[in-house]
Amino acid sequence: MAIDAVGALNWAIAKDEALHLALKNLAGKRLRVVLPVGGTFDWEIERDGLLKEIGLQTRHSQLSSAGVDQPRRDPDVTLIVGTDLTKAIRIEGDAIAAERLGPLVKLLKERLNPWERFWSQSPAGQLARQAAEYAVHEAGLIVGRRQAQEHEQSLRAFRDSLDRLEKRIDALARG
């Protein structure tokens, strides 16, 4: 899957002259894309302005194309994709490189948008949302945000009451 994603992105990069030129100026920079489902893609920008896959990591495995003799290096820029694929991409790292990667981020959003739409409208996506809704609201298997906040507030009130009781006991013991 990662190689197909890189091939598709490289094809789109080659078609966009401004993006291709911007990426040529970033040759040697490393880019990490963190997906909301727990996987990461590690890419390096080559001299020709195209992406080279240097690693793929999922929850269960880690693949590296970097080679054994190549030292492991942290990415220059990290793109963190949120659960709403089209809106929430957070950029961390080298500010100049991140600014120049703006067109690539836009391209990623455009490429991910159909997948996000497909997931939100597909029966599998609807089934997943319904299952989550059932687990939280009807079956009580998962605690909702409101319930967790209410529980936290009641714990806070209990701690405050306990502190007051300890102070009373200390005052009575001294008195």
* Same domain? 116 vs 134: no
Per-residue model confidence (pLDDT) at position 72? 62
- Could you tell me the CATH number of the domain that includes residue 68? 3.30.1050
Number of domains in the chain: 2
Q: Both 118 and 94 in a single domain? A: yes
Cβ-contact 119, 125 below 8 angstroms: yes
Say how far apart CA 55 and CA 42 lie, in whole Å: 5
The answer to whether residues 137 and 117 belong to one domain is no
Structural domain range at position 157: 125-174
63: left (phi over 0), alpha (psi -120 to 50) or beta: beta
Instruction: Give the whole-angstrom CA distance, residue 122 versus residue 114.
Output: 12
| Predicted TM-score (pTM) of this structure | 0.52
Looking at the fold, whether 116 and 44 belong to one and the same domain comes out as yes
Indicate whether 91 and 14 sit together in one domain.
Answer: yes
Residues in the chain with pLDDT values less than 50: 1-3, 66-71
Q: Which residue has the tokens 């880690």?
A: 62
Phi, psi of 61 (to 5 degrees): -150, 165
pLDDT at 88: 66
Looking at residue 71, the DSSP 8-state letter turns out to be P
Based on the fold, state whether residues 102 and 143 are members of the same structural domain: no
